[in-house]
Structure 1
Amino acid sequence: MKLVVQVKLLPTPEQVSALESTLRACNTAASEVARVARNRGVYRNYDLRKYVYQNIKDNHRLGAQAAQHVIKKVCDSYKALKANIRAGNLGRPGSKRRRRAETDPISFRWEAAQPYDARMLSWQRNARTVSIWTVAGRLKGVAYAGSPDGLKAVAELPVGESDLVHRDGMWFLHTTVEAAEPELVDPKGFLGIDMGIANIAYDSDGDRYAGTTLNSYRRRQLRLRQRLQRKDTNSARRLLARRRRKEARHAANVNHCIAKTIVTKAERTGRGIAVEDLTGIRERVRLRKPQRVTLSSWSFHQLGEFLTYKARRAGVPLVEVDPRYTSQTCHRCGHRDKRNRVDQETFNCRSCGVVAHADHNAALNIASRGVEAGAQSTARTRPDLAASEGGDLQTRPFTGG
């Protein structure tokens, strides 16, 4: 399985100047390629190369590999843009924002990430330095640092393509490494995970991962952003960008901690993990404006991705289940009634009278559906084991969001 490791470069002032010139040249060339692609209506890598390859090499002092990566970066950007247009993420057909996205060429900021392959970047693991291509020539002996796990991964695992990233005055390499994927265990049941806003996650064992602190933090950040937006000065816009990144890092850290705790529990108890398939929930759910803000800032997709890759690394099966009516159905008798959900926290079955926390009841239903989904997957992939207990469960990646 592929993992992305972040290492921090520690360049000298002369090396910083060369790296900055390289990013500026690559992204200026990328903006030029994007204009040609839009004007000619050519978005395939091989076809676009005929029009721009030699020009950007000569005019922007790019090497052959760098020029190839610039063209590929532009093609990938247009591919992502088309996917966002199809998904409706850039407004309705005919809206100003969508028309602009469909007609204007993509432009690249000077500090946008630039891909590097093995021909442009080499690692001296013992010395903890890299040799990296720049427009000013090859930089050798650029020191790097990172977390113990990241440094160990770069030192011991096969290294693939890297992205050179400039952020907040610092330089990073986001490097892909190839890690061995353990075999999935035969689960003894499933740990159901109900994702929500008041509680970021609630598992079928009754453990709650509260979102109160995170939601309070986000409300405070929203008030601060509104104050800065009203000022509308250059310094206010810079502070807005810093606050946005700070909030994103905080939410990612919370999601990492929650995902690690859930996967560790499932691994320790020999169970798989069952989560809801929340694909398109923002489009399906109609809420009032204050609630829409909360839903839009809910990073359930990130939590799902963290759960997926951490589960894969631990060999824990993860399945997605249908989320419909999990909060209205009694986990004990199976009776479904929207009146069973008394309020945000309380579930009271109208049939058997069971009283439970609403999110805990939903998590128990998700765990039951996880067992069914696991059995169906085993029957499809291993017919010889369909009638026996256990079997190898085939999981698919989290797609919510």
Structure 2
Amino acid sequence: MNATQDPGRPRAVRISSTPDDLARLQALLEAAEAGVGDVPALLALATEAGTVTPKPGSGGTAFLWETLASVTAVDTAAGRILEPHLDAAAILAQAGAETGGPDVPCEGTWGVFAAEAPGLKLEATDSGAGTVLSGAKPWCSIAAQLDHAVITAHLPDGGRAAFAVDLHAAGVSFEDPAWSSLGLREIPSGTVHFDAVPAVPLGGAGWYYRRPGFAWGGMGVAACWLGGAVAVARSYKDGLQKAADGGREPDQLALAHLGEIDRTLTGLIHTLARTAARIDAGELSGPGAWSEALRVRGSVATAVERIQALVSQNLGPGPLAFDARYGKRMADLALYVRQHHAMRDDAQLGALTFKGDHPW
């Protein structure tokens, strides 16, 4: 933050853009702050942002990630709503450009549902009049409040593919998610049931996972996690400054932890800046893209957990008990970062490294 910036206004997270470019985010960030806890308002914000935010690989990947990080730094749930809508917009654009498939406009609000769970299966079949989806899909966040989704389903031959589906169509029903989480309370994830619901194919079998945009989208989620970590770090630094202004200077332990947080976040920002530039230069459009995504996601997820631990240890139970904004941020971020599969993702990266896919 520069010396002339109002400390009460939401602050953008800079990866590599100029201050003038980042200033374009201010209205979005202020709207996100005003919409905290108001899902319809945040969905409207996501729809508006989707019309002006660059797609990954289009030359503005760093600004896309700055948008995601900056909104998440305002409120983790706001970033959690924005990210899948922007990802869906990118997937629809990629499907049209890369496969010559139908041009599906990104109108209304969108989610991306690709998770699987034991005992639940969504299947795509040819009805004679087109593709229909039948079965159940788990982990569909705020599905009942969305208009459309990009969704993956199993094919008769055993593969999987992506489809665009209207969530208002006949045959779609929403199971009560019984969401008991204290984190991301306004974004419950539940099971959606489909009974012969028409769907538009997006690419063929396996295209959704093979496209470079799959890795790019995974790194967009990591940009959100980074924004959440930056918010935690800022609250910690601001707390130390407030105490110092009251005559209680931070001790060496508090400063050491602040120093570790600084070098961790700075290193991640440099990594994301370099990676965004490589994506825009066309250097991460092949098989190595997913390895890089695993590196980025693993590094950011580890840093988030470390920064949360350091800040919690230093600030103690007080803010968790009496600061609702801080408590919400910590709970939201802890749940959000669990989208990372920890050692299982490292094992996947290790397997790729073992095959020789590494830069060292």
In the superposition, the TM-score normalised over structure 2's length comes to 0.27
TM-score of the two chains, using structure 1 as the length reference: 0.24
The structure carrying a bigger helix percent of its residues is: 2
User: Which is greater in Rg?
Assistant: 1
Greater strand fraction, Structure 1 or Structure 2 = 1
